[in-house]
Chain A
Amino acid sequence: DAKTTQPTSMDCAEGRAANLPCNHSTISGNEYVYWYRQIHSQGPQYIIHGLKNNETNEMASLIITEDRKSSTLILPHATLRDTAVYYCIITGNQFYFGTGTSLTVIP
């Protein structure tokens, strides 16, 4: 399965959009991009997933480039409760979470 590369940490001002990038240059045609987040020491929480098209739900938007080699998770109006570690994962038959991006939302 494809692996992902994410920045180790990011900051975002409260109320602003948080844009979290993810590189997955070795993704294959039938693999999906998933995003989860983990708040403090809780279990990870599903956010969104997609294959080719951009996706939006009540939590976030997912933008996938046309070549599918990278994607961006957008939290449109970040709040303090969005401070968490965000994982971008590619799934075929494996779920490789890695170490994710630690997002800190600053008041």
Chain B
Amino acid sequence: DAGVIQSPRHEVTEMGQEVTLRCKPISGHDYLFWYRQTMMRGLELLIYFNNNVPIDDSGMPEDRFSAKMPNASFSTLKIQPSEPRDSAVYFCASSRERLAGGSYNEQFFGPGTRLTVL
């Protein structure tokens, strides 16, 4: 398997533009996570899906952010309109179903998308 695939790897855009980040999870994984990483705030969970259904989006910073998972092999994170403070590295991760005891399985992270909003 190629691992978690994210595109683009780098994105530079101007304030006010729409940005769409894409993620292809590992085949057979039931969970998909979107994270944002900045120097100030570290690695933050934005939203996660189970079997394509959003489970917890409490980490999404505001209404400008939206995420979808139309099928098991594709997810998008959209920012509209983008602002300079959205500049960060965005990671997508996927994992298999939870273990029998209730623990989450290990998450496999993609290489990230470095977003710069000017």
Contacts and interface: CB of A to CB of B under 8 A. Distances in A.
B107 A46 contact: yes
A95 B58 CA distance: 12
Contact of A41 (B44, B45, B89): B89
Nearest to A32: B103
A79 interface: no
A96 B45 CA distance: 7
Contact of A97 (B43, B89, B101, B111): B43
A65 interface: no
Contacts of B107: 36, 44, 46, 95
B25 interface: no
A34 B58 CA distance: 21
Nearest to A34: B104
Given A32-B104, A41-B89, A100-B42, A93 B56 contact: yes
B106 interface: yes
Given A93-B56, A98-B42, A100-B42, A41 B104 contact: no
Contacts of B91: 43-44
B70 interface: no
Interface of A: 30, 32, 34, 36, 38, 41-46, 49, 51, 87, 91, 93-100
